[in-house]
């Protein structure tokens, strides 16, 4: 470790101490998140300008800074499974029966699939408006290597079908899914937890005393898990600081400029889909500006971490503490939204790639039949997309291979993938939160007093 690396790490430690001081002074969580975001962006840009994105000093500095960023993401992923399991079991125990569970699940899924279809249409429209095409892109060493990897992955992806995706969601080995070893692990954990919760309801009818003991035991476990969640969420500003520093310090701005049209088109599509979410919130009686203000902290983390699954704890807390969504609905929305109907990764991105690649094989991307088939494929293919980095690639492989389009051309965008993935992940998380709010309003369970209050994520401050 040379002197410059030690200096860079020393500056990072000073910023961490400043954030700690702000926390000890009880500054609002949202403000600390924005301060961390600003500090990280500024410091990352400074490192980028002084040393260059590929310099050994930057890479060595980021390697240690990433302990904080990736370490925080790992902590969040650590609590995802116990949080989802305990929260869903306790939520079902409070329900009247399986009918309520069915309504919550069906409405959540319906909203997610509707919005991913709209996201796909927006992706198609924006791509056509910007005249995006893969024909004019050039391939370098990295792009060719990426194309080879995608072609290799296609071999396993082609074996997937709608039926196999649905079957994979069934938890044949719950312990394997608790370890997160499959793309559909989160949904499988939800299904397994639902069975446990329904079994608990059944015990109440046949053995009331044992049912009461089970309720009390789950209440204790729930309290412990939620305390762990609160402790971990307190570290969010530090994680955002480190993650944002890494993004700006290591980004290759030259590559971004070369593909600026695709970057610009992608973010316009993402912003348009955010507007659709806010319109849905407004139709359900919620103030869109209030919604936006309260979801910004979790969207900021999703943007910097690029992990929908890692954002689940914050997604649930935001819904319950700030938007008045009941805990059961919030858990289903966050869990489903991390792997099903992802508006950014499974909607906009595959649609834009398909429109860009279609002309290379003689397909008119404006053909109505092609667009209809593309949207239907996007909706079906959105099941079981992993809520971590790489989920968009998995979704794109499913869509492109289903439409018999060459997947290797997607490798030409590798240099700007991280930048676009940040916006896609924030959109995925916002879609999950929107589905939770819409579901709670349709079922008449939303607490609008909490929604309209100034209350934010202050329990993690």
pLDDT digits (tens, 9 = 90+) for 112-139: 999 999 999 999 999 999 888 776 554 4
pLDDT for 162 equals 56
Q: Is 36 helix (H, G, I), strand (E, B) or coil?
A: helix
pLDDT digits (tens, 9 = 90+) for 316-350: 889 999 999 988 889 889 888 887 888 988 899 99
| Confidence class for position 161, pLDDT limits 50, 70, 90 | low
Percentage of the residues of the chain whose pLDDT score is greater than 90 = 32
CA distances for 155 relative to 186, 357, 396, 402, angstroms = 24, 19, 14, 12
Q: In the chain, what are the domain boundaries? A: 3-460
pLDDT for 395 equals 76
pLDDT for 146 equals 47
CATH 3.30.1280.10 fits domain 3-460: no
- DSSP single-letter state for residue 134: G
Check: CB of residue 200 under 8 Å from CB of residue 215: yes
- CA atoms of 266 and 255, how far apart (whole Å): 15
- CA atoms of 278 and 111, how far apart (whole Å): 13
């Amino acid at each position: 470790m040379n002197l410059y690396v030690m200096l860079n790490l020393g500056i990072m430690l000073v910023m961490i101490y400043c954030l700690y001081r702000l926390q000890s002074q009880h500054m609002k969580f949202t403000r600390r998140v924005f301060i961390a975001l600003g500090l990280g962006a500024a410091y990352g840009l400074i490192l980028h300008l002084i040393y260059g994105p590929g310099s050994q000093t930057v890479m060595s500095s980021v390697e240690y800074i990433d302990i904080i960023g990736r370490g925080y993401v790992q902590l969040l992923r650590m609590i995802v499974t116990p949080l989802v399991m305990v929260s869903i079991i306790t939520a079902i125990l409070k329900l009247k029966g399986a009918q309520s569970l069915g309504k919550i699940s069906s409405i959540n899924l319906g909203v997610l699939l509707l919005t991913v279809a709209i996201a796909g249409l927006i992706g198609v429209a924006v791509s056509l408006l910007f005249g995006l095409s893969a024909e004019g892109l050039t391939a370098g060493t990295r792009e060719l290597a990426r194309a080879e990897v995608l072609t290799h992955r296609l071999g396993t992806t082609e074996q997937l079908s709608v039926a196999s995706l649905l079957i994979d969601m069934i938890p044949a080995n719950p312990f394997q899914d608790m370890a997160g070893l499959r793309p559909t692990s989160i949904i499988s954990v939800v299904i397994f937890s639902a069975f446990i919760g329904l079994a608990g309801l059944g015990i109440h009818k046949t053995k009331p005393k044992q049912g009461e003991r089970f309720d009390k035991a789950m209440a204790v476990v729930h309290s412990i898990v939620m305390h762990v969640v609160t402790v971990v969420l307190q570290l969010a500003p530090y994680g955002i600081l480190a993650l944002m520093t890494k993004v700006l310090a290591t980004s290759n701005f030259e590559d971004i400029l070369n593909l600026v049209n695709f970057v610009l088109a992608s973010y316009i599509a993402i912003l348009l889909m955010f507007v659709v979410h806010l319109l849905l919130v407004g139709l359900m009686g919620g103030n869109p500006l209030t919604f936006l203000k309260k979801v910004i902290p979790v969207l900021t983390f999703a943007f910097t971490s690029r992990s929908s699954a890692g954002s689940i704890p914050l997604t649930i807390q935001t819904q319950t503490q700030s938007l008045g969504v009941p805990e059961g609905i919030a858990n289903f929305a966050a869990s489903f939204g991390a792997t099903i109907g992802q508006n950014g990764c499974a909607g906009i991105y595959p649609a834009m790639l398909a429109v860009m690649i279609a002309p290379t094989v003689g397909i008119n991307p404006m053909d109505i039949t092609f667009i209809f088939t593309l949207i239907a494929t996007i909706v079906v293919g959105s099941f079981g997309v992993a809520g971590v980095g790489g989920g968009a690639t998995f979704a794109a492989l499913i869509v492109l291979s289903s439409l018999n389009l060459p997947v290797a051309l997607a490798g030409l965008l590798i240099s700007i993938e991280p930048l676009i993935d940040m916006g896609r992940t924030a959109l995925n998380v916002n879609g999950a939160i929107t589905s939770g709010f819409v579901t709670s309003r349709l079922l008449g369970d939303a607490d609008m007093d909490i929604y309209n209050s100034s209350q934010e994520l202050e329990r993690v401050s």
